[in-house]
């Protein structure tokens, strides 16, 4: 699905279409004459328009080890024929299945896979976006194939049934997801508006009907809308711009310009019918939410003055007198945030205020809505002030000035989408461009935040309902908001509401620090606190860094009370520090606390004020909740545990697999019982125990020097002490696989589909095995997808994966299927393994060399940003592998893998009946009468408690 766009900052420099950099013309210029990019971006750019009308952004990056392209078409579900709802999405599927020049339906996916690439697409209301990423030396051939989809797609009628089933499987996977149900209802209540269509499609909406033939309408839709004049193209490569331009012209100029008008929606909403409504929604997950939705005119053209962002910024603030602060202090809510999407329904947008409620808040929802409306009134009266523009602009300027690279795949996807929404010269910076303070634009948005444009959503398991959704699992009831309630919003608030004060954490200095060496330095070793430091090798010009502070404790691993208390501690801390966390985010920093074998406090972003942020973060690190606050946190925890059982089945299956491989996991029922048993005294004691029994480790990565880290250490020793009761670093134990040990988890789940994760473990430890599994996976994955998804249509989510269980390596298959029970699906897996063995035996040396080369290219791909660069170092640090060379050893092992090695690996794992095996079978409600699959020599379990009695961990 399309991500709602975040907003960003104005550029501090301009890169012209000829790729030269010049100063910004004026901070007040709304639309730039040339392409604006970040001063931190050293790549060369060019924008152009092909003769057939396609706007193009080219990005030349000599350091890129992969090339990528994205082409967006300015049409989506808003223009689906009513007789074939889901058409735009269905066509997105069909497009990949062959062209006139490349008629084999499997050829494109196979080509991309063997050349180290990936491809994908998405469909939204107003756009369909296609992406491909591939090894540099295969880019030209990839573009030849990719561009042909938009010239001469075969749209084989014989694949109609298969792709209908694929779309249906995708719908089946998402039909229990509350987001899709609520979004469908939100659009359904718009009456005759074109947004009131079924986004995904399924077997009911897609098919031959009276006066409507699916294949004929698909071809007609393609012929009508797939026109070059509503297409946008983005390309990233290591090639020079001139060569990239030549390839763009050669491959994409041949797409036909049908000179169609830009697809637009002009249907007006009748706010007398749709506004001032309360929607009671009963979701699948146990949530307690209140959303205030305002439908506003599409003001995408105001992107340069960002009125929606300005209003959302004020509504979201956590400072004294804000709705978030006063309602939290009263114990009514756990969180409040505001966001906007200017084209959410096509020619209309939305501004949403999303609130998570407590039980007490559930009883005072009208007070909460009134508080939001009264705060909006305050903004209207006093909040349209240039000082907030200056603060927002400073924040966004800083972000854009030091904007980091992203993965090529996601970058071209974003560019191609932005080009549909914004002027070509703002394809890069549209979400960061805040040109001037426009009081009138802000007032125009505020004037639309009225009872007549609003819909208030009450979302919980206890809502009164009288209707059921079609296509999704959700129930609802709609009623009008009373005039007396609306009138109450004009009265003075019972709370002391006030507008936000000045942000204290905005960086003032971007000075760069240099460490003594590029190696990881062990800069401090005390009895309790130890610290490491690593400067960036590739991004030393970034005044940013990441500090991880790990309170490593053995208590939460096997002590369920300690585990649950740590989770509740994190929840209460984040609520207590919400103002600080929000203030840090605005200033370009991050503050996060999470539980993992203890607690991890993370600070990230600009380093200038990080020590000040740490000081504030350590104040009140242990929380002292009231009984009401503790009860609310326990309620949130219990509902979160239960809601895991409502996740997409294959998510649940992978979560279960991870639990099987590590000690320290507990059954949901045990976690809930433990949470119910927590008291004020026991929670206080759990905090004291964890606070006392830990070792503190610090790792600073990025723009720090030794003195910075020593200051961090000093603060931590002051807060936690210098002496330790725990004498060594601890990790949760891993499953120790044994020959002929087949652990099988069989479980019924409260969702419809079946999910299976079936993993075989190599009996020998080591990097050689891990590298071999990685290469084998890249071949197995494509074969599994082609056979089980494309040809047999058993699932939308299906594939192969390789993984590590500490020092062991493993390889497996996964699937979520709406058409087979566990036994039938496992039988098909077993048969497929035999079929694949035949294909593997026929693998040529040339084919193997391509697979290996693409795997090595992925392993050796340079990090795109500071976080990517830091990730392998942090991973080793957490695993206590302080030589920090795991990735290097994996690459070295992969370079030595031969074709015979992957064949032997397959024989030693998947084809080896005595190989250790983990098998997860989750049976959805639709298949409750279907049998589970039993495996030879299985150790069958149904709970974590039972697992630990039968399986060894170390």
Same domain? 278 vs 328: yes
DSSP 82: G
| Residue 729, domain member (yes or no) | no
Place of tokens 């630990």: 948
Whole-number Å distance between alpha carbons of 806 and 765: 9
547-564 burial string, b = 16+ CB within 10 Å, else e? Answer: bbbbbbbbbbbebbbbbb
Q: How many CB atoms lie within 10 A of CB 245?
A: 18
Counting the structural domains of the chain, the total is: 3
Phi, psi of 686 (to 5 degrees): -60, -40
Retrieve residue 941's tokens: 């379990």
Q: Please identify every stretch of the chain with a pLDDT value under 50, giving residue numbers as ranges.
A: 1-27
Picking from 657, 670, 579, 613, the residue whose alpha carbon sits closest to that of residue 814 is: 657
Indicate the angle between helix axes 668-676 and 560-576, nearest 10 degrees: 70
Retrieve residue 413's tokens: 């996807």
Report pLDDT digits (tens) over 695-723.
999 999 999 999 999 999 999 999 999 99
* CATH code (residue 441): 3.30.830.10
Retrieve residue 142's tokens: 């990839």
Same domain? 703 vs 758: no
Domain boundary among 470, 488, 506: 488
CA 315 to centroid of chain Cα atoms: 24
Whole-number Å distance between alpha carbons of 229 and 420: 11
Whole-number Å distance between alpha carbons of 115 and 596: 38
Picking from 657, 587, 680, 906, the residue whose alpha carbon sits closest to that of residue 804 is: 657
Q: What is the pLDDT at residue 6? A: 30
Q: What is the pLDDT at residue 2? A: 36
| Residue 495, domain member (yes or no) | no
Retrieve residue 910's tokens: 């998947």
CA dihedral 849, 850, 855, 857 (to 10 degrees): 110
Same domain? 622 vs 768: no
Q: How many CB atoms lie within 10 A of CB 651?
A: 15
Place of tokens 């005595």: 914
Q: How many CB atoms lie within 10 A of CB 52?
A: 18
Retrieve residue 731's tokens: 């990790």
Retrieve residue 125's tokens: 């209301």
Residues 6+ apart with CB under 8 A from 140: 247
Q: What is the pLDDT at residue 510? A: 95
Place of tokens 């290097």: 888
Same domain? 760 vs 874: yes
DSSP 862: P
- Give the E-state strand segments of 347-473 in sequence order: 348-357, 454-460, 467-468
Report pLDDT digits (tens) over 516-569.
667 999 999 999 999 999 999 999 999 999 999 999 999 999 899 999 999 999
| Residue 770, domain member (yes or no) | yes
End-to-end alpha carbon distance in the chain? 41
Q: What is the pLDDT at residue 14? A: 27
Whole-number Å distance between alpha carbons of 763 and 826: 23
Retrieve residue 373's tokens: 């409306």
Same domain? 799 vs 670: no
| Residue 499, domain member (yes or no) | no
Retrieve residue 935's tokens: 């495996």
Distances (CA, A) of 711 to 316, 612, 701, 714: 33, 11, 15, 5
| Residue 306, domain member (yes or no) | yes
Whole-number Å distance between alpha carbons of 276 and 848: 63
Picking from 592, 572, 570, 571, the residue whose alpha carbon sits closest to that of residue 582 is: 592
Alpha-helix residue ranges (DSSP H) falling in 331-407: 359-362, 365-378, 386-401
Same domain? 564 vs 691: yes
Same domain? 293 vs 343: yes
Give the sign of the dihedral formed by CA 12, CA 18, CA 20, CA 23. negative
Same domain? 711 vs 780: no
Report pLDDT digits (tens) over 651-687.
999 999 999 999 889 999 999 999 999 999 999 999 9
Q: How many CB atoms lie within 10 A of CB 811?
A: 25
| Residue 208, domain member (yes or no) | no
Retrieve residue 662's tokens: 């590590």
The residue range of the domain holding 536 is: 521-652+662-720
Whole-number Å distance between alpha carbons of 301 and 280: 34
DSSP 812: E
Same domain? 880 vs 798: yes
Give the sign of the dihedral formed by CA 535, CA 536, CA 539, CA 542. negative
Q: What is the pLDDT at residue 3? A: 33
Same domain? 450 vs 591: no
**Beta pairing, strands 598-606 & 589-595:** antiparallel
Domain boundary among 466, 488, 510: 488
Mean pLDDT for the chain overall: 93
Kindly report the pTM of this predicted structure: 0.92
Whether the Cβ atoms of residue 434 and residue 396 lie closer than 8 Å to each other: yes
| Residue 798, domain member (yes or no) | yes
Picking from 198, 182, 195, 178, the residue whose alpha carbon sits closest to that of residue 457 is: 182
Place of tokens 């639709």: 926
Whole-number Å distance between alpha carbons of 251 and 145: 9
**Beta pairing, strands 544-552 & 475-480:** unpaired
Same domain? 691 vs 825: no
Secondary structure (DSSP) of 537-582: SS-TT--EEEEEEEEE-SHHHH-HHHHHHHHHHHHHHHHHTHHHHH
Same domain? 747 vs 716: no
Whether the Cβ atoms of residue 851 and residue 779 lie closer than 8 Å to each other: yes
Distances (CA, A) of 775 to 138, 330, 861, 886, 906: 19, 56, 15, 17, 11
With residues binned 3-state (H G I as helix, E B as strand, rest as coil), the percentages for the chain, rounded to 5, are 45, 20, 35
Distances (CA, A) of 399 to 95, 547, 605: 38, 19, 10
Whether the Cβ atoms of residue 603 and residue 616 lie closer than 8 Å to each other: no
**Left, alpha or beta for 668 (phi > 0: left; psi -120 to 50: alpha)?**
alpha
Domain boundary among 687, 720, 753: 720
737-765 burial string, b = 16+ CB within 10 Å, else e? Answer: beeebbbbbbbebebbbbbbbbbbbbbee
Phi, psi of 751 (to 5 degrees): -140, 175
Distances (CA, A) of 611 to 400, 510, 700, 707, 791: 23, 14, 12, 12, 57
Give percent above pLDDT 90 in the chain: 91
DSSP 759: E
| Residue 908, domain member (yes or no) | yes
Q: What is the pLDDT at residue 948? A: 83
């Amino acid at each position: 699905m399309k991500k709602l766009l975040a907003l960003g900052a104005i550029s501090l420099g301009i890169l012209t279409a000829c790729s030269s950099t010049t100063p910004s013309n004026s901070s007040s210029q709304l639309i730039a004459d040339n392409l604006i990019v970040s001063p931190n971006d050293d790549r060369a750019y060019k924008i152009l328009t092909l003769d057939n009308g396609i706007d193009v952004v080219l990005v030349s990056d000599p350091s890129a080890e992969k090339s990528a392209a994205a082409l967006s078409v300015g049409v989506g579900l808003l223009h689906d024929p009513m007789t074939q709802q889901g058409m735009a999405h269905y066509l997105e599927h069909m497009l990949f299945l062959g062209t006139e020049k490349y008629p084999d339906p499997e050829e494109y996916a196979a080509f991309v896979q063997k050349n180290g690439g990936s491809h994908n697409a998405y469909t939204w209301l107003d756009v369909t976006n296609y992406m491909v990423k591939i090894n540099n030396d295969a880019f030209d051939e990839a573009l030849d194939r990719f561009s042909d989809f938009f010239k001469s797609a075969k749209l084989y009628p014989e694949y109609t049934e298969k792709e209908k089933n694929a779309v249906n499987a995708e719908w089946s996977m998402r039909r229990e997801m509350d987001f899709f149900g609520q979004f469908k209802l939100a659009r359904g209540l718009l009456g005759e508006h074109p947004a009131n269509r079924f986004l995904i499609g399924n077997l009911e909406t897609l098919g031959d009907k009276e006066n409507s033939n699916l294949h004929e309408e698909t071809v007609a839709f393609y012929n009508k809308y797939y026109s070059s004049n509503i297409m946008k193209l983005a390309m990233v490569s290591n090639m020079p711009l001139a060569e990239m331009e030549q390839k763009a012209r050669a491959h994409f100029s041949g797409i036909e310009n049908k000179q169609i008008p830009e697809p637009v929606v002009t249907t007006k909403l009748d706010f007398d019918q749709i506004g001032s409504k309360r929607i009671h929604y009963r979701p699948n997950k146990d949530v307690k939410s209140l959303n205030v939705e305002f439908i506003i005119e599409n003001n995408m053209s105001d992107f340069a003055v960002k009125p929606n962002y300005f209003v959302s910024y004020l509504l979201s603030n956590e400072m004294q007198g804000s709705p978030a602060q006063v309602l939290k202090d009263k114990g009514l809510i756990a969180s409040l945030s505001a966001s906007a999407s200017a084209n959410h329904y096509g020619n209309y947008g939305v501004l949403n205020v999303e609130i998570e409620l407590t039980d007490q808040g559930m009883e005072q929802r009208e007070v909460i809505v009134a508080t939001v409306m009264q705060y909006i009134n305050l903004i209207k009266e006093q909040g349209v002030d240039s000082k907030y523009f200056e603060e927002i602009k400073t924040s966004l300027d800083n972000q854009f000035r030091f904007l980091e690279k992203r993965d090529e795949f996601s970058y071209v996807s974003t560019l191609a989408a932005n080009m549909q929404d914004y002027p070509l010269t703002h394809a890069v910076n549209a979400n960061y461009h805040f040109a001037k303070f426009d009081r009138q634009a802000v007032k125009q948005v505020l004037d639309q935040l009225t009872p007549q444009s609003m819909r208030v959503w009450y979302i919980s398991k206890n809502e009164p309902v009288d209707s059921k959704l079609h296509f999704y699992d959700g129930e609802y009831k709609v009623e009008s908001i009373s005039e007396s309630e609306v009138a109450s919003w004009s009265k003075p608030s019972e709370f002391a509401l006030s507008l936000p004060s000045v942000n204290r954490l905005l960086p003032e200095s971007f000075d760069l620090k240099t460490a003594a060496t590029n190696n990881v330095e062990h800069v401090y070793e005390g009895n309790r606190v130890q610290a490491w430091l690593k400067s960036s090798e590739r991004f030393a010009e970034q005044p940013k860094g990441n500090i991880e502070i790990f309170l490593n404790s053995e208590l939460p691993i096997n002590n369920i009370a300690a585990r649950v208390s740590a989770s509740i501690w994190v929840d209460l801390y984040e609520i207590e520090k919400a103002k600080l966390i929000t203030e840090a985010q605005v200033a370009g920093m991050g503050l996060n606390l999470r539980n993992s074998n203890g607690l991890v406090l993370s600070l990230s972003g600009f380093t200038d004020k990080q020590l000040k942020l740490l000081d504030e973060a350590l104040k009140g690190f242990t929380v002292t909740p009231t009984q009401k606050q503790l009860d609310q946190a326990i309620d949130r925890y219990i509902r979160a545990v239960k809601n895991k059982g409502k996740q997409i089945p294959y998510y649940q299956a992978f979560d279960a697999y991870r639990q099987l491989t590590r000690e320290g996991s507990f059954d949901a029922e045990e976690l809930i019982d433990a949470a119910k048993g927590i008291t004020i005294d026991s929670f206080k004691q759990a905090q004291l125990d964890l606070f006392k029994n830990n070792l503190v480790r610090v790792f600073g990565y990025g723009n720090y020097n030794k003195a910075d880290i020593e200051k961090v250490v000093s603060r931590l020793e002051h807060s936690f002490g210098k002496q330790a009761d725990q004498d060594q670093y601890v990790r949760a134990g891993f499953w120790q696989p044994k020959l002929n040990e087949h652990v099988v988890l069989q479980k019924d789940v409260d969702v419809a589909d079946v999910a299976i994760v079936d993993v075989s473990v190599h009996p020998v430890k080591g990097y050689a095995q891990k590298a071999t599994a990685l290469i084998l996976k890249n071949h197995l994955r494509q074969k599994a997808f082609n056979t089980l998804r494309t040809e047999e249509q058993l699932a939308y989510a299906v594939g192969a994966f390789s993984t590590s269980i500490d020092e062991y390596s493993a390889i497996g298959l996964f699937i979520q299927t709406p058409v087979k029970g566990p036994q039938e699906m496992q039988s098909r897996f077993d048969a497929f393994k035999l079929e694949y063995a035949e294909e593997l035996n026929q693998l040529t040396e040339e084919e193997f060399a391509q697979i290996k080369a693409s795997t090595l290219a992925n392993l050796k791909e340079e990090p795109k940003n500071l976080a990517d660069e830091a990730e392998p170092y942090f991973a080793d640090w957490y695993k206590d592998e302080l030589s920090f060379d795991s990735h290097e050893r994996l690459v070295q092992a992969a370079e030595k893998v031969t074709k015979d090695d992957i064949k032997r690996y397959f024989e030693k794992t998947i084809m080896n009946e005595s190989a250790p095996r983990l098998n997860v079978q989750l049976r959805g409600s639709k298949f409750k009468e279907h049998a589970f699959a039993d495996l030879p020599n299985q150790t069958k379990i149904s709970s974590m408690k039972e697992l630990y009695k039968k399986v060894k961990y170390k």
